Structure 1
Amino acid sequence: MKTRRFGKTNAMISEIGLGTWQLGTKWGEPFCAEEAQKILDAAYDSGITFLDTADIYNDGNSELAISKILKAHPDHFFVTTKIGRGLNPHTAEGYNKDSVVRFTDGCLSRLGMEKLDLVLLHCPPTSVYQKDEVFDALENLKSAGKIAHYGVSIEKVSEGIAAMEYDISAMEVIFNMFRQKPIEELFPAAQKKDVGIIARVPLASGLLPGKLSKDTVFGKNDHRFYNRNGEAFDKGETFSGVDYESGLTAVSELKALLGTENLIPYALRWILMHEAVSVVIPGASKTAQVLQNVKAAELPDLTPEQMAGVKAIYDKYIRPTVHHLW
C-alpha cells in the first residue's frame, strides 16, 4: 500500500482508506458487529491505515467497533470522525460551543481515545462554515489536547473555500468520475493552504462499479430508493446527484473506454491520479469489498488518453446537470 502526506497534519497515511458508514451493514440493513470486526481486520491486513467514521454511523456502533481494532493495533490507524449530524433539528443554530464539545466528548468515549486524530464538521448548513464560534470551539479543543486536528466535510465547493479561511487541516468532499468540479478551484486552493483532501463517495453510491441496471430494485430503507431527489438529505449524496439513467449510460461508455466490466479499481485509481487527494475512502459491507478496493493500489496510472476519455464522458453525460450544483 502506498502512502501519502495528509496535508498539514504531516501524517503519512495509506492512499486507500476505509469509509465506515456501511461498516457491518448493507444498504439500510441492521448492523452486525461480527462482520464489522472482520472488515476492520481485513483493512489492517491489507495495509490500510486510514479510517473514516462519524458519531452517527450505525448509531455509534461504527466508532465502538473501531475502538476494538485500535486496542488490538495501537498506533496503526489514523482515525477521522465527524460530528454534528446528530442534531435534531439539524440547523445552523445547533452548531455552537456546547454542542461541539458534547459531540467531541462522545466520540472520545466511543473510540476509547485520549485524543482524536481528526474531527470534521459533518456537512452542516452552509452558514456554519463561516461561524466563528464553531471554529473557535474546535481550536479550543485542540489547545486542550482533546483533538489533534480539525476540518470539515462539505457538500459544495463554495463551502470548502469558505472553511479554508480558518485553520483547518483537512477537508472531505465528494469526488469521483461523476463529480469533477473540485478539480477546478477547490483542489488548487487546498494545496496552497496545505489542507489534506479526503475523497468520499468515490463510487457514486454503487453506480460507478458497473453492476447496477435499469432493472435493479433497491430496498425501501436504501437511500438510493428514497432520496433520488433529495427527499431526506442533499441529493448529491445519492448517486453523486447524477440522474440514474444518464449514469448507467455513462458507466457503459466508461466500461468500453477502459476495457473492463469491473470499474472499481479504475474509478479509485482515477481519483488517486489527482495529487491534491490524500486518501480515498470507499466503504465496505463485507471483507471481499475491502480486498477489491485495495486492488486500485496495484493498478498502473491511467494513460493520458484514458483520463481525457473519462473527462469527455463526464462532459457529455454528467456536467450539464451536476457541475453547477455542488
Structure 2
Amino acid sequence: MKYTKFANTNIELSKIGLGCMGMSAAYGEDKDDKESIATLERSIELGINFWDTADIYGKGVNEELISQVLKNNRDKIFIATKFGFRMPNDTGNSFSGDIYIDCSPKHIKEAVEKSLKRLKVDVIDLYYAHRIDPNIPLEDTIGAMSELVKEGKIKYLGLSECTADELKKAHDIHPISALQSEYSLLYREVEKEILPLTKKLEITFVPFAPLGRGLMSNKLDISSLSNNDFRKNLPRYKGEYLENNMKLSQALEELAINKNATTAQLAIAWVIAQSDNIIPIPGTKKRKYLESNVGSVNLNLDSSDLEKIEDILKMYPNVGPRYSARENKFVKKS
C-alpha cells in the first residue's frame, strides 16, 4: 500500500479508502454481513486505513456494522462519517421515499451523538456535512461542526457535493480538511473549479463512485441488478447512455490488458493520477473486488496512457446524467 498526507496534517492515509455504503444500502437485497465484515478485516490486512460511511446508509445500520470490526482496530482506522440526510420521522428506506437535508445546529448535535454510539467510538476522525442545507446559513452549520471539534467529539471537518464558493466560505469559517464528490471517467465536472481549489487550500479530495457505480469495471451485468438497486433508476444505466458506457468500458479494457490490469484498476488509477491530494473510496462488500481495487494503487499511468484514455473518452462522450431528477435535486450540478 502507498500512503499520502491528509490535508495539511501529518496523518498518513492509504492512497485508496473503502466506501462502505453498499454493505448496507442502495445496491439491492444482496447483503451478507459476514462477507462485509471479512471485507473490512481484509482491508486492514491490505493496508487500508480510511473507511467511509454515513448515518443515512441503512439508517445507521452501516455504522453499526463497521463498529464490529472497528472496536478491535480503532488505532488502525481513520473513520469518516456524515450527517445531513433525513427522512420524515426517520422512517423508510434511505434510498426510497422522501428524504430531505437538515444541517441545523440542533440536528448536528443529535446526529453526532447517535453516530458516536453506533460506531462505538469516543471521537470521529472526519465528520462531513453530506450536503449543504439551502435553508440553514452555512455559518450556522460550520459553526456547529466547529463546536464539536472543541468538545472533542470530532477531529476534522468535511463537506460533500458543495460548490467552490461554498467551500471557500466554509473554509474561512473553520478549516475544511476534506471535500467529497463523485469523480470518475464518467463525471469530471469537479475538474473545473473544485479539484483545483482543494489543491490550493490543501484539502484532501475524496472521490466516491470512481468506477461510475460499477459501469467502468466492464464486469457489471445490468440484468442481475435487483429491483430495489437504486442504479436501475439512474440515466446512465438506461438506453443510449448505457450502450455508450458499455462500449466505453470495453474500449478501456483493451488498454487495461496492455497494462496487465483490469478495467476497474485502470479506471481507479486514472482518478488517483489526476492530483496528489486525491484519495478515492471505491465501495465494495466483497473481498475479491477489494483486492482488485487495491491493485490500482500500484498501477502507474504515464503521459501516453493518459492521452490514450482521453482519446477513448472522446469517442464515447454520451455518458448521461449521473442522477435521476429525484436524486439530482440534492446536488449542485448533474
TM-score by length of 2: 0.84
- The one-letter code matched in structure 2 to 1:245 is E
**2:189 equivalent to 1:181:** yes
Q: Structure 1 residues 58 and 264 mapped into 2: Cα distance closer, same or farther (>3 Å)?
A: same
Give a deviation string over 1:114-165, Cα, whole Å, max 9, x none: 111011011345566x621111100111111111011111166665566445
TM superposition shift of 1:274: 2.1
Segment of structure 1 superposing worse, 155-164 or 26-35: 155-164
Mapped contact 1:16–1:297 kept (Cα < 8 A): yes
Amino acid at match of 2:14: S
The aligned residue for residue 266 of structure 2 is: 266
Partner amino acid, structure 1, of 2:178 = A
Q: What's 2:159 paired with?
A: 152
**1:142 alignment counterpart:** 149
Partner Cα distance (2:224, 2:286) in 1? 20
The range that moved more, 102-111 or 260-269, is: 260-269
Measure, in 1, the Cα distance between the counterparts of 2:267 and 2:44. Answer: 22
Change (3 A) 1:320 1:90: closer
Pair 1:71–1:212, CA change in 2 (3 A): closer
Number of aligned residue pairs: give it. Answer: 311
In structure 1, the partner of 2:292 is 292
Alignment check: 8 A CA contact 1:23 1:285 kept: yes
The match for 2:105 is 97
Q: Does 1:168 align with 2:176?
A: yes
Q: Distance in 2 between matches of 1:256 and 1:221?
A: 33
Q: Is the 8 A contact 2:19 2:52 kept in 1?
A: yes
Report the residue type matching 1:150 in the other structure: L
Tell me, yes or no, if the aligned pair for 2:159 and 2:179 is still in contact at 8 Å: yes
In structure 2, distance between residues paired with 1:313 and 1:277: 25
Tell me which moved more, 315-324 or 99-108.
315-324
1:197 alignment partner AA: F
User: Does the 8 A contact of 1:178 with 1:204 survive in 2?
Assistant: yes
Q: CA RMSD in A?
A: 2.7
Cα distance change on mapping 1:187 and 1:11 into 2, 3 Å: same
1:235 match: none
TM-score normalised to the size of structure 1? Answer: 0.85
Structure 1, gaps ≥5 residues long: 230-237
Aligned to 1:310: 309
Which is further off, 255-264 or 115-124?
255-264
Distance change (3 Å), C-alpha of 1:125 and 1:320: farther
Partner of 1:275: 275
1:249 to 247, 267, 271: 247
- Please state if 1:223 is matched with 2:210: no
Partner of 2:215: 207
Q: Is the 8 A contact 1:115 1:145 kept in 2?
A: yes
From the superposition, tell whether residues 283 and 91 of structure 1 become closer, same or farther in structure 2 (CA, over 3 Å): closer
Whether the 8 Å CA contact 1:91–1:124 is kept in 2: the answer is: no
For 1:18, give the aligned amino acid: L
Distance in structure 2 (CA, Å) of the matches to 1:17 and 1:279: 7
Counterpart of 2:86 in 1: which secondary structure? coil
Residue type matched to 1:249 in 2?
K
Do the aligned partners of 1:126 and 1:159 also contact (CA within 8 Å) in 2? no
Deviation at 1:312, TM superposition (A): 2.6
When residues 153 and 205 of structure 1 are mapped into structure 2, their CA distance, relative to the original with a 3 A threshold, is: same
| 1:22 partner SS | helix
Question: Match of 2:15?
Answer: 15
Further displaced range: 200-209 or 70-79: 70-79
Picking from 192, 200, 204, the partner of 1:192 is 200
Query: Quick check: 307-316 or 44-53, which moved more?
Result: 307-316
1:37-48, aligned counterparts within 5 Å?
A: 37-48=37-48
Amino acid at match of 1:42: R
* 1:262 positional shift: 2.8
- What is the alpha-carbon distance in structure 1 between the residues aligned to residue 99 and residue 293 of structure 2? 33
Give 1:74 deviation, angstroms: 2.8
- The verdict on how the C-alpha distance between 1:115 and 1:17 changes in structure 2, with shifts beyond 3 A counting, is same
Q: 1:268 to 1:249 in 2, by over 3 A?
A: same
